[in-house]
Structure 1
């Protein structure tokens, strides 16, 4: 073996060792029942191209920021902002102008193996923007303009691009974590390092060495620190559930509720019946059968006090065996029908939020909303008038003064009957 061949072999050996280490950090590959057809599913590069194409066709409604938020390996997390930007100043995230519009943050792709939520996101973005090209007054046009005129919709299209890239290269469709095997959804500073996560690097729920250790978390904290969101949803797949905070171990023991719990429950109920699928909903610690510490949606609810915060599992079927892709994603030939079936959930979500915001504005703008009722006010006014009249009479007529000096005397001789007499 010549020196050049020896050098190549050493490099190959290092690559093999690195690959073995990385592969050991998460679920091992399994024999899959079916695999994605990338003429129907989008791989990482196709997702970016699709979003770029949509933005180019809708410059006044879609803004891309593919540079502000990146992964450990410097891949873009494909952050996009949808709204009606006509007449508004927009540059980068630091230049967003505050508006009274609803602020909604949706997150996709936290777990590499869950392709379906991202496909649902692409369908949503295409649907909203295509509605703008319909004739004025059509249901599609009216709905798109209503949503984009009332909502600033922020979307993290690919929260974990390194994990997705690793999956595509290795064809390990069970891979869940980042490039270092960390589960992003256990890496946040809400009950971090509790029993509902793992310190074992070989566990798929490996939480990382400390809260926010992963650069991929910066997009969530950066946005939440700058923008007061009305709603946050982290989208997943594997089952049909809508999770309300909290999911952590301590909350399960204490039965802790998030702020705005009743409204969250109301919205979850509406979303659960918005499609032909039926979604179970409730506290995450009740529905899932296990606890999860350090999750993103718990952090948004518990730390950032976002009024509505959910984790939504969009799709799942009865599943047996060790295969992974079919647990989280439908067959390629069924994909289009599945995302169409899911889509009405977004319509119900946006409609509910717009009505909720309008009700809040009416409440704040009505000065009598927290005042006593008009009936009580009239009664109070009447009492004031009567007291004023009596006071005036009391001062004007002396006889009234003498009458008020009467004393009530109760007979002590006859307890069975009480009488009153007046003395001067």
Structure 2
């Protein structure tokens, strides 16, 4: 098994399997071993070719693309708006690199019912484009907060902030990206241990839509959540009652709806909210100059994927909307990788601009859905008590207190009033400041 340590690749040799067969002579056993080993090596080379470096048609120019250092610079810029941007710095990779979980919201306003949305980027190291589209979106979103912003920028920022409560994992797999930057292997997809993060989740983990072959790009790891990079997804989806989750990728123009796993394909299993998800997918499929095919994942493509993040969010976390969106792809031939998932550097700016309507339509659709169709829907996996429960308990307390006071007054019990200080409702409310979140 090959592992990226940050300084180089280390290889650990597993114990070879016994390929002997009972009833065979010594010569036959040797021939059998040779055949088995040869087939195994051939199979491994075929399966592993998609993560080995290839001759590239073009590579990223970091005057246009963002490397990890430039991504961190963008984060520092966003943090200049503390009333609107919060960074959860505790979420880090196996090699202690930040994953950049951001919370984008107007923290100064009274909390309203807005859709809570989680966007995820950078799960696969070689897919640079989704991260670039997120940076472009965030730059536009905060552009209206600048002192000299034009009217359009201010209106756009106000519109997005008034309609959504956003959480963004900007770089889910920073170690994988670091490996690419150090080695120029633009075919690398996994974490520092070679695990495909999008096969590492506890939804039908271990099925045929993943592999135990450490040389394969769809290597799932030894067990669910073996990768530290999965923690941010587990914890934030338990703490926040998300209405929607979007995992952004590149390589083709597709919008996937759960489920993608092998068992769901056999059972024709679909999430409860599939009709509403289809409506949103239909709208997104033609809202930009890019046309997207959309549908249930196991019907749209001819292979399955087990242990994916968006299946986990739909099947385990019960998030009403869960999608994987493949933002871009083009005709591709040969073994090169970077051009399969990312445009040429000179085309990047125009392409991310053309993807921008996707974000606007996602947020607008979910805002309308939240306000009209599902005003009371709550994620049952949330660990935080509902505010409604708090108000109910407060109301019950006030009602019981009023009844006690009335009862004592009718019985002419002046001692109660002699020893109690009357607190007005105005004073009482001022002692419970509104929580801005």
- The TM-score by the shorter chain falls in which range? 0.7 to 0.9
Aligned-pair distance for 1:287? 1.7
User: Contact conserved, 2:247 with 2:323, CA < 8 A, in 1?
Assistant: yes
User: Contact conserved, 1:26 with 1:177, CA < 8 A, in 2?
Assistant: no
Q: Which residue of 1 aligns with 2:305?
A: 292
1:307 to 293, 301, 320: 320
Please give the secondary structure, in 1, of the residue aligned with 2:207: coil
Aligned-pair distance for 1:323? 0.1
User: Contact conserved, 1:25 with 1:201, CA < 8 A, in 2?
Assistant: no
Deviates more, 1:67-76 or 1:118-127: 67-76
Is there any run of 5+ residues in structure 2 with no aligned partner, and where?
1-6, 14-44, 378-437
User: Contact conserved, 2:114 with 2:367, CA < 8 A, in 1?
Assistant: no
1:73 to 84, 87, 95: 95
Q: Which residue of 1 aligns with 2:52?
A: 28
Q: TM-score, normalised by structure 2?
A: 0.74
Q: Which residue of 1 aligns with 2:74?
A: 50
Q: Which residue of 2 aligns with 1:62?
A: 85
User: Contact conserved, 1:26 with 1:202, CA < 8 A, in 2?
Assistant: no
Computing the radius of gyration over CA atoms, which structure comes out larger, 1 or 2? 1
Aligned-pair distance for 1:361? 6.1
Please give the secondary structure, in 2, of the residue aligned with 1:155: strand
Q: Call closer, same or farther: CA 1:19–1:333 in 2, change over 3 Å.
A: farther
Q: TM-score, normalised by structure 1?
A: 0.76
User: Contact conserved, 1:196 with 1:292, CA < 8 A, in 2?
Assistant: yes
What is the rounded CA distance, in whole Å, between the counterparts of 2:10 and 2:365 in structure 1?
A: 49
Aligned-pair distance for 1:325? 0.2
Q: Call closer, same or farther: CA 1:128–1:326 in 2, change over 3 Å.
A: same
- What does the per-residue CA deviation read over 1:63-103, in whole Å, with 9 as the maximum and x for residues that have no partner? 122x2101111111011111101157xxxxxxxxx863321
What is the rounded CA distance, in whole Å, between the counterparts of 2:307 and 2:352 in structure 1?
A: 29
Q: Call closer, same or farther: CA 1:362–1:165 in 2, change over 3 Å.
A: closer
What is the rounded CA distance, in whole Å, between the counterparts of 1:277 and 1:100 in structure 2?
A: 32
Q: Call closer, same or farther: CA 1:27–1:41 in 2, change over 3 Å.
A: same
What is the rounded CA distance, in whole Å, between the counterparts of 2:8 and 2:104 in structure 1?
A: 43
- What does the per-residue CA deviation read over 1:151-204, in whole Å, with 9 as the maximum and x for residues that have no partner? 210000000001010111011000000000000000000000000000000110
Q: Which residue of 2 aligns with 1:208?
A: 221
Q: Call closer, same or farther: CA 1:130–1:154 in 2, change over 3 Å.
A: same
Is there any run of 5+ residues in structure 1 with no aligned partner, and where?
1-14, 89-97, 365-424
Q: Call closer, same or farther: CA 1:19–1:146 in 2, change over 3 Å.
A: same
User: Contact conserved, 1:135 with 1:141, CA < 8 A, in 2?
Assistant: no
Q: Which residue of 1 aligns with 2:410?
A: none
Within-5 A mapping of 1:152-167: 152-167=165-180
What is the rounded CA distance, in whole Å, between the counterparts of 1:17 and 1:120 in structure 2?
A: 31
- What does the per-residue CA deviation read over 1:13-34, in whole Å, with 9 as the maximum and x for residues that have no partner? xx7762799x979711000000
Please give the secondary structure, in 1, of the residue aligned with 2:103: strand
User: Contact conserved, 2:113 with 2:370, CA < 8 A, in 1?
Assistant: no
Q: In the alignment, is residue 234 of structure 1 matched against residue 247 of structure 2?
A: yes
Q: For this pair of structures, how many residues does the alignment match?
A: 338
User: Contact conserved, 2:199 with 2:220, CA < 8 A, in 1?
Assistant: yes
Aligned-pair distance for 1:111? 0.3
